């Protein structure tokens, strides 16, 4: 099944909310989802199989088409008729401490996955160049040292969560957040503007890697879209 067929099939399912829209991500200086409800899932910027062998096609189909789509549907259900209906997702995220758990989990889920798809891409260069390379080398000493620290954050996040490279006050740092929290949230221990993120929920890797999360993390470096990372750094 190719991507078009898959999306057609998906359109017939209850999780199809927004999956067929062509709306591009709306950029902002602090985040990436400036729209208000009803929230929609932007198209994946590449084919489901484009990240193989690092991330297999079926994982991407289920991850984007079921998990992410469900966060969007559940977020729309959760904000309906509440004060959050008129706020952009970026605004909701920044004051998430005031939101109920359904909005925190699904709003974070929508924001994080939208960000995640964009920082990956097929056949990307193995290492950053230019300003990102300079910033990483300046902060961590070398690209290898950065990968080691990011990998440690991703590996040691117990249970479900995300690993992040964030910028704050002109400095970079790595860390992780639990569940669907992210570093823009007011309740997060790790704070800053996300530059790069990695989903370490089992749904992101279990079909291909089973319990071997470190292998998934290692393979991630082959599909990082460093051009997008550079854009994120520039806006931070
Ligand atoms: Fe995920």
Q: Which pLDDT value is given to residue 125?
A: 76
110 with 9, same domain: the answer is: yes
* pTM for the structure as a whole: 0.87
Residue 106 Cα to ligand 1 midpoint, Å, equals 11
HSE (side-chain half, CA atoms, 13 Å) at 196: 27
CATH number, domain at 142? 3.55.40.20
Residue 67 Cα to ligand 1 midpoint, Å, equals 6
80 with 146, same domain: the answer is: no
- Output the 3-class SS for 191-218: CCEEEEEEECCHHHCHHHHCCCHHHHHH
Whether 91 is covered by a domain: the verdict is yes
Residue 19 Cα to ligand 1 midpoint, Å, equals 16
CATH number, domain at 62? 1.10.287.990
Residue 25 Cα to ligand 1 midpoint, Å, equals 18
Q: Which pLDDT value is given to residue 18?
A: 33
- Domain range enclosing 208: 130-235
Residue 220 Cα to ligand 1 midpoint, Å, equals 14
**Percent of the chain residues topping a pLDDT of 70:** 86
Lowest-pLDDT choice from 2-6, 53-57, 141-145: 2-6
| Residue positions counted in the chain | 236
Q: What DSSP letter does each residue of 113-174 carry, written as one string?
A: HHHHHHTB-TT--SS--HHHHHHHHHHHSSHHHHHHHHHHHHHHS-SSEEEEEEEETTEEEE
70 to each of 5, 15, 41, how far by Cα in Å?
Answer: 19, 6, 10
Residue 141 Cα to ligand 1 midpoint, Å, equals 30
Q: Pick from 118, 138, 159: which residue ends a domain?
A: 118
At residue 34 the predicted structure's pLDDT band, cuts being 50, 70 and 90, is: confident
46 with 108, same domain: the answer is: yes
Residue 78 in tokens: 């959760």
pLDDT over 60 at 227, yes or no: yes
Segment 210-222 shows an average pLDDT of 97
């Amino acid at each position: 099944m190719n991507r078009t067929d898959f999306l057609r099939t998906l359109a017939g399912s209850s999780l199809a909310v927004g999956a067929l829209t062509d709306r591009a991500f709306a950029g902002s200086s602090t985040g990436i989802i400036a729209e208000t409800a009803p929230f929609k899932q932007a198209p994946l910027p590449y084919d489901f199989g484009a990240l193989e062998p690092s991330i297999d096609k079926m994982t991407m189909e289920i991850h984007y088409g079921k998990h992410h789509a469900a966060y969007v549907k559940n977020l729309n259900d959760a904000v309906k008729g509440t004060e959050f209906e008129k706020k952009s997702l970026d605004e909701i995220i920044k004051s998430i401490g005031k939101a109920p758990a359904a909005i925190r989990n699904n709003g974070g889920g929508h924001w994080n996955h939208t960000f995640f798809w964009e920082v990956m891409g097929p056949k990307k260069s193995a290492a950053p160049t230019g300003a990102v390379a300079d910033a990483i080398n300046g902060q961590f000493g070398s690209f290898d040292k950065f990968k080691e620290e990011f990998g440690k954050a991703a590996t040691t996040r117990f249970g479900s969560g995300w690993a992040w490279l964030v910028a704050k006050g002109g400095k970079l740092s790595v860390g992780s957040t639990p569940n669907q929290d992210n570093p823009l949230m007011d309740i997060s221990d790790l704070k800053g503007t996300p530059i790069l993120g990695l989903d370490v929920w089992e749904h992101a890797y279990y079909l291909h890697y089973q319990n071997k999360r470190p292998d998934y993390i290692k393979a991630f470096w082959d599909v990082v879209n460093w051009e997008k990372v550079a854009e994120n750094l520039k806006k931070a």
